[in-house]
Structure 1
């Protein structure tokens, strides 16, 4: 699912390691500087559309049966099912200024309600995230169009989605020596990069999987 946030343009990498410019000479001088301060918030709103060459009914049946495709389509992210509708995902390793995180988040794909699908963050049993928190709230809605080609009526379904994402990170003290505006702008840029690359890859894989198997 490709983000429409065009403020930053990035080139996709072959693996899931994200980084921003980190050559600022701010590596910790002592172990005391690894102590963490209050969390910094990064947020973004994203939206786009994924098209499927099928009726909305067929697309809905596919989305409802996410257990049959989500783990496969989410690769190379590491995914572990959580109950009937939940998944634990390791997004990848990312960082800047010599500080890296490899976050693991729980997502629940809620059953559709009046044609709207929602995804939200859920706790991962037995896992305590250190120095970060993620608030992921997404919604998807299906819209069917009919197009006539060579006298044949074809169905096209648009999966329109929106995502509100907030990430809270407790940076070590040596990061706090940097200007807050620099840390914030670098973090926002990195968040946009991650959403853009992951959504683009997931969109492509879901479309391919759907058209190959449905």
Structure 2
């Protein structure tokens, strides 16, 4: 994404995630765990009559060298029922031209689901393709929504009108 603001303004915003992360992650439920970590309930998803409501712990690093990391952390007193998530992301801030800062995001996501026996009777290829499709939809939907919300919130924090979508 591109934002019409200086690198310093974008860095200051990202480093103050306590002021925007919970609000921008909606409709996901977010609860702070510490100064740099959150419990996040992603939503309810499923197929073949089997639903999960993933809840993960995320730790957000402070910005260093214009890079910002987020990774999964264990949630206190919580054992995920039937799934494991390993989330790692890297956000880079890049100086652009004419006061534009570019924000690039990379995601490394591994999700393991432990299905009940009635699902394991289905063909493995069907289970795999359905799981991949659902996961891709979730990541795409959350990424688009979160990007839009962060950008909108960033401009609002600076009292700058939100530019129209291209």
CA RMSD of aligned residues (A): 0.8
Where does structure 1 differ by over 4 angstroms across 4 or more consecutive aligned residues? none
2:30 maps to 1:79: yes
> How high is the TM-score relative to the length of structure 2?
0.93
Q: Could you tell me which residue of structure 1 aligns to residue 154 of structure 2? A: 210
> How high is the TM-score relative to the length of structure 1?
0.72
2:101 maps to 1:157: yes
Deviation, 1:56, is 1.1
Structure 1 unaligned residues grouped into runs of 5+: 1-49, 148-154
Q: Could you tell me which residue of structure 2 aligns to residue 66 of structure 1? A: 17
Q: Choose the corresponding residue for 1:192, options 116, 133, 136.
A: 136
Residue deviations 1:44-101 (CA, integer Å, cap 9, x gap): xxxxxx2111011110000000000111111111100010100101000000011000
Q: Secondary structure at the match of 2:76?
A: coil
Deviation, 1:213, is 1.1
Deviation, 1:113, is 2.4
Alignment coverage as a number of residue pairs: 158
Q: Could you tell me which residue of structure 1 aligns to residue 83 of structure 2? A: 132
Q: Secondary structure at the match of 1:113?
A: coil
Q: 1 or 2, which has the higher strand percentage?
A: 1
2:65 maps to 1:114: yes
Q: 1 or 2, which has the higher helix percentage?
A: 2
Q: Larger relative contact order (C-alpha < 8 A, sep ≥ 6)?
A: 1
Larger Cα Rg: Structure 1 or Structure 2? Answer: 1
